[in-house]
Amino acid sequence: MIDIIIVLTLLLLGFIFGSIAEKNHYKSIRRRENLFKHIPTIGLKNPINPDNIRTTRLVVGNVVISVDYFKRFMAFISNIFGGNVSSYETLIDRARREAILRLKEDAKGASEIINLKLEASSINKSAKGSIGSIEMFAYATAIYRKK
């Protein structure tokens, strides 16, 4: 009986604190995306405007986001019945957007960012192979123009 109470308590705490953390993180992401929306960021290898380039520089952004207990439980349920594991979709979205924001913060003063690449990996927390955290790594070339 005590095991069921512990599991239910962890699920409830994971849901409450995970929801609060996710909501606050999305608020921070939206605020910072507005700050950097003036910098075009594309996956193409060539700049939008090849004129007046002063210099280029490799810029990077990296983030590791942990999975809360509630999302892990919901993913387990989704795996039993099959289909979309939607409990991890917001985790991946937050990681992607945060890595790109950190990349843009690294590219202060850039006119544009080209050749954006993203790499994702999971960090296993246990021997069972369940995801403990997700790492998202973004790298690109920042273009700095002559003024």
CATH of domain 2-145: 3.30.110.70
Q: Which residue has the tokens 């507005």?
A: 34
CB atoms within 10 A of CB 74: 18
| Mean pLDDT confidence for 123-128 | 63
- Token pair of 111 as six digits: 């006119």
Are 64 and 135 spatial neighbours (Cβ–Cβ below 8 Å)?
yes
Are 68 and 108 spatial neighbours (Cβ–Cβ below 8 Å)?
no
CB atoms within 10 A of CB 49: 12
Phi, psi of 141 (to 5 degrees): -110, 125
Range scoring the smallest mean pLDDT among 15-19, 26-30, 34-38: 15-19
What average pLDDT is seen over the chain?
87
Single pTM value for the model? 0.84
In single-letter form, the type of residue at position 101 comes to L
